[in-house]
């Protein structure tokens, strides 16, 4: 064997000198363990030189067209390869057909750094290094041994004249069993996700389809799991690899928002950076959200939700209610803390994005930082506290079910001010809560929660932040705690687009056909059906039906209006006063439901019926509840983006149809495939440059350049992250104490003293056993 090694080493040197490579330096680098140079059944240079012709291998089609099963090393002497990569593909395909895999080994370079020679070995070449795999206290079972010192190798050398790669060594003797083809494809070297697979995977991930569903879809397309070409583990590895390639998550998030701004000229986003260069706060809203706010921004609800990104940063969502009585999103923000100054900054960015328009009413969960920020930024807005949170606080602070029931009535019943004070006093006296601090503070804030005080302020039906909770639940279908910032923004806008599509469906339902008339007052019902959206019409129809129970009992004339007294039929204890101003055609009721919700109450409708009015006056129709709520603002602002562009969709569909046919034809030829792939890459680069989608380092609308040093946000601990703690706030764990030696820092299993004692005891037992055995043998011999 040693003689063979020397002969073949000399043979390689003769090849180098023969080709004028006497100046090469043996720069050997190895990605893996170096292999030996034994060549028992290797191809000799003389045998190769005696070949009359060479078979050129220039593409994968040439390789796939050959039957490499059982191909002998002698038969490969006529092969030449156009590149080193093609030589590797040849040996890799050969290995797959014959039951093993390939690893790259030694490499030989010239003084100029050019590769002259490359060696490929069997995947079982060499031996595994001992890295404590046999330690007794190892918890995890070590992986099976796969290295067996196999000496099979494949070496190629470049020809300086032809610049083609020729086989100089091909040893095909393995010291292990070769795998069957169905097992061989599971080797890591033969599992590969193609570029098309990765693109398809990314498209499905953007659509919310997880890796498991994607893998099942690929199996369905391929005709079985065994025909996919990679395992489900490879899908997760590819996802992790792509995430690691995104070095700066914060900068990628800003780059994503800048990409949205290229299609939406009204896209607005701002961010701040802390003293360590980390992304601190991020605020954004697009053009459609700004349009929605101009129409439905009279009521604003905002709340924070948690666990929607891997940094545990709270997500603040600004929302309202649209003309279908559904949630509509105005803006979003990611913050690193929930301090008052943070909310002030967020509200200031919101006010700037909405062109200085402040909401009429704001509803929150009662957070003190939010309350103070609203008072500073929206001083004229009416701030209402969430009824659900108040009831929960009453349950936790008082703990008496009867008190919670009476408090609920005081908060939600339609009492006048005098009756509210009387009910509150009776409740406090009954439960003896005169000295309770929480009850006193709650009463001091009664104008923020009691219906008796809130009545007349427009809240569009908002009583609680349960709409916000429902919105957070909807986000939970699209957002997960493992998402980084760029993935988070992608899926946030995916959720936003889905909600907008639901609004389009509701618009269609409202404009398609007419509701069936079901009340006695069909003229007014028909008028409301033409004006209001379907959901609002159903609410109005309930008022219209209840108006049949109302009667007008009296009226008296004043200088400006006529006041009518309305009460329920045969229930005159409760009366409502409805004022009619004939000059302005205005109706006002003492219940103030029209001012609070924007729809006429049953008392006003009863008066309209009494006056024989067939249709609703314009003064009783709030534009925000009508089918054409957005018509005015859409006609005045041409820069607003549309929900969809029919021309753009048609062009996209036409291109997809053409390119699908082109892809089917091009994929049949390797040369056509390569040329069209290069042409497609050039066209994509050209169009991205034209659209400004490349990272040119220019200034963004956030006011800072892309070249700034921006680090990822630090994981935070907010009030909503009860189960998550950062390293700075985590409670120090008590050090582990060993029960054997009573020392700290280890346990009984890893105790060296205990192990030493055990070894000493075992040694003593063994000596004693040996002594006993020797005594018995001596006794037997004597016997």
Phi and psi of 621, rounded to 5°? -115, 110
Question: Is 70 exceeded by the pLDDT of residue 198?
Answer: yes
534-546 and 522-531 are packed helices; what angle lies between their axes, rounded to 10 degrees?
Answer: 160
DSSP 203-260: HHHHTT--HHHHHHHHHHHHTSGGGSSS-HHHHHHHHHHHHHH---HHHHHHHHHHHH
Query: Predicted confidence band at 739 (pLDDT cuts at 50, 70, 90)?
Result: confident
Task: Give the span between the Cα atoms of 293 and 299, in whole angstroms.
Answer: 9
- Tokens 């996700």 locate to 193
Share of the chain above pLDDT 90, in %: 28
Would you state the pLDDT for residue 767? 54
Least confident of 271-275, 452-456, 655-659: 655-659
pLDDT number for residue 571: 76
For residues 164-190, average pLDDT: 86
Chain centroid offset of residue 416 CA: 49
Give the whole-angstrom CA distance, residue 336 versus residue 338.
7
**Tokens linked to 1:** 């064997």
> Would the pLDDT of 151 be above 60?
yes
The residue with greater pLDDT, 663 or 359, is 359
Task: Give the model's pLDDT for residue 692.
Answer: 64
pLDDT bracket for residue 56 (50, 70, 90): confident
The top-scoring range by mean pLDDT among 219-233, 300-314, 418-432, 748-762 is: 418-432
pLDDT band for position 158 (cuts 50, 70, 90): very high
The answer to whether 23 touches 31, Cβ cutoff 8 Å, is no
**Strands of 115-122's sheet in order across:** 55-57, 79-81, 165-171, 153-158, 115-122, 102-109
Asked if the model's pLDDT at residue 562 lies above 90, the reply is yes
At 38, the pLDDT band (50, 70, 90 cuts) reads very low
What is the spatial distance between Cα 442 and Cα 427, in angstroms, rounded to a whole number? 13
Distance separating alpha carbons of residues 683 and 680, to the nearest angstrom: 5
| Residue 35 scores a pLDDT above 80 | no
State the pLDDT confidence band at 122, using cuts at 50, 70 and 90.
very high
- The single-letter DSSP state of residue 549 is G
Extract the tokens encoding 778: 């001596």
Residue pair 155/120 in contact (Cβ under 8 Å)? The answer is yes
Q: Quick one: average pLDDT of 137-164?
A: 85
**Token duo for residue 237:** 């590895």
Q: Flag whether pLDDT at 17 surpasses 70.
A: no
Q: How many CB atoms lie within 10 A of CB 298?
A: 19
Q: Round to whole Å and give the CA distance between 540 and 546.
A: 10
pLDDT confidence bin for 541, thresholds 50/70/90 = very high
Rounded Cα distance between 635 and 243, Å, is 43
Most confident of 58-62, 304-308, 619-623, 754-758: 619-623
- On the question of pLDDT at 778 being above 50, the answer is no
pLDDT digits (tens, 9 = 90+) for 336-380: 888 999 999 999 999 999 999 999 999 888 888 898 999 999 999
pLDDT (0 to 100) of residue 776: 43
- Judged against a pLDDT cut of 60, whether residue 23 lies above it is answered with no
Residue 42 to residue 602: CA distance in whole angstroms: 99
For residue range 763-772, list pLDDT tens digits in order: 555 555 444 4
Indicate the helix (H) or strand (E) that contains 431. helix 417-431
What is the average pLDDT score of the chain? 79
Q: Record the tokens describing residue 491, joined without a space.
A: 């899926």
Query: What is the C-alpha separation between 534 and 325, in angstroms, rounded?
Result: 10
> Under a CB-based contact definition with an 8 Å cutoff, are residues 113 and 202 in contact?
no
| pLDDT at site 734 | 62
Q: How many helices (H) and strands (E) does the chain have?
A: 27, 17
Task: Report pLDDT for 132.
Answer: 60
Note the pLDDT of residue 245. 59
Q: For residue 471, which of 338, 624, 326 has the smallest C-alpha distance? A: 326
**Six-digit token pair at 368?**
């003190």
The reported pLDDT for the residue numbered 184 is: 80
Per-residue pLDDT band for 41 (boundaries 50, 70, 90) equals very low
Residue 109's pLDDT band, with cuts at 50, 70 and 90, is very high
CB atoms under 10 Å from CB of 214, counted, come to: 21
The pLDDT of residue 117 is 94
Question: How many C-beta neighbours within 10 Å does residue 698 have?
Answer: 11
Predicted local distance difference test score (pLDDT) of residue 244 = 66
| pLDDT band per the 50, 70, 90 thresholds, residue 466 | low
**Could you tell me how many residues make up the chain?**
783
């Amino acid at each position: 064997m040693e003689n063979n090694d020397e002969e073949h080493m000399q043979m390689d040197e003769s090849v180098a000198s023969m080709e004028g490579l006497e100046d090469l330096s043996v720069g050997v680098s190895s990605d893996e363990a170096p292999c030996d140079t034994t060549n028992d059944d290797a191809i000799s240079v003389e045998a190769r030189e005696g070949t009359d012709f060479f078979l050129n291998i220039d593409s994968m089609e040439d390789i796939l067209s050959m039957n490499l099963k059982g191909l002998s090393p002698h038969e490969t002497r006529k092969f030449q390869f156009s590149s080193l990569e093609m030589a590797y593909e040849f040996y890799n395909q050969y290995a797959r057909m014959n039951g093993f895999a390939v690893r790259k080994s030694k490499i030989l370079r010239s003084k100029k750094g050019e590769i002259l020679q490359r060696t490929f070995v069997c995947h079982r070449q060499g031996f595994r290094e001992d890295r404590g795999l046999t330690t007794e206290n190892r918890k995890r079972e070590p992986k099976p041994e796969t290295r067996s010192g196999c000496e099979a190798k494949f070496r190629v050398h470049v020809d300086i004249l032809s610049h083609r790669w020729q086989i100089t060594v091909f040893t095909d003797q393995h010291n292990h069993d070769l795998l069957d083809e169905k097992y061989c494809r599971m080797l890591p070297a033969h599992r590969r996700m193609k570029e098309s697979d990765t693109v398809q995977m990314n498209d499905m991930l953007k659509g919310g389809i997880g890796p498991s569903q994607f893998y099942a879809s690929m199996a369905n397309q391929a005709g079985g799991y065994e025909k996919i070409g990679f395992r489900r583990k490879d899908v997760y590895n590819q996802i992790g690899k792509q995430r690691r390639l995104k070095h700066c998550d914060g900068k990628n998030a800003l780059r994503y928002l800048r990409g949205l701004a290229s299609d939406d000229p009204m896209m607005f986003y701002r961010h701040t950076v802390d003293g360590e260069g980390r992304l601190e706060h991020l605020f954004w809203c697009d053009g459609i959200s700004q349009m929605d706010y101009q129409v439905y921004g009279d009521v604003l609800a905002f709340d924070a939700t948690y666990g929607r990104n891997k940094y545990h940063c709270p997500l603040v969502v600004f929302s309202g209610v649209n003309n279908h009585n559904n949630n509509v999103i105005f803006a979003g923000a990611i913050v690193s803390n929930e301090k008052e100054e943070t909310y002030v900054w967020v509200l200031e960015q919101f006010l700037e994005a909405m062109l200085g328009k402040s909401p009429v009413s704001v509803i929150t969960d009662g957070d003190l930082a939010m309350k103070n920020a609203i008072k500073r930024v929206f001083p004229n807005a009416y701030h209402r506290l969430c009824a659900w949170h108040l009831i929960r606080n009453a349950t936790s602070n008082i703990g008496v079910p009867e008190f919670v029931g009476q408090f609920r009535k005081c908060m939600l019943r339609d009492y006048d001010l005098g009756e509210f004070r009387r009910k509150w006093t009776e409740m406090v006296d009954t439960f003896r809560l005169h000295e309770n601090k929480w009850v006193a503070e709650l009463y001091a804030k009664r104008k923020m929660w009691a219906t008796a005080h809130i009545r007349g302020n427009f809240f569009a039906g908002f009583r609680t932040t349960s709409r916000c909770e429902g919105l957070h639940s909807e986000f939970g279908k699209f957002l997960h705690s493992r998402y980084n910032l760029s993935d988070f923004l992608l899926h946030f806008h995916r959720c936003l687009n889905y909600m907008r599509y639901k609004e389009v469906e509701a618009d269609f339902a409202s404009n398609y056909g007419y509701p069936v008339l079901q009340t006695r007052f069909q003229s007014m019902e028909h008028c409301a059906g033409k004006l209001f959206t379907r959901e609002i019409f159903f609410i109005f129809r309930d008022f219209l039906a209840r108006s049949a129970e109302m009667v007008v009992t009296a009226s008296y004339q004043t200088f400006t209006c006529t006041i009518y007294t309305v009460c329920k039929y045969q229930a005159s204890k409760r009366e409502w006063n409805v004022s009619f101003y004939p000059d302005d055609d205005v109706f006002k009721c003492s219940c103030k439901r029209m001012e609070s919700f924007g729809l006429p109450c049953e008392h006003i409708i009863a008066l309209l019926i009494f006056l024989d009015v067939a249709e609703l006056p314009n003064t009783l129709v709030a534009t925000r509840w009508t089918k054409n709520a957005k018509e005015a603002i859409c006609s005045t602002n041409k820069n607003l983006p549309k929900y969809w562009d029919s021309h753009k969709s048609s062009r996209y569909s036409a291109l997809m149809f053409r390119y699908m046919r082109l892809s089917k034809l091009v994929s049949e030829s390797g040369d056509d495939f390569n040329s069209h792939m290069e042409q497609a890459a050039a066209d994509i680069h050209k169009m991205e440059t034209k659209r400004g989608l490349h990272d040119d380092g220019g200034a963004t609308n956030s006011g800072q350049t892309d070249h700034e040093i921006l680090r990822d946000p630090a994981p935070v601990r907010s009030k909503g992250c009860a189960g998550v703690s950062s390293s700075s706030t985590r409670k120090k764990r008590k050090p582990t104490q060993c029960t054997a030696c009573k020392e700290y820092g280890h346990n009984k299993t890893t105790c060296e003293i205990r192990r030493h004692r055990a070894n000493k005891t075992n040694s003593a037992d063994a000596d004693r056993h040996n002594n006993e055995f020797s005594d018995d043998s001596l006794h037997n011999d004597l016997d």
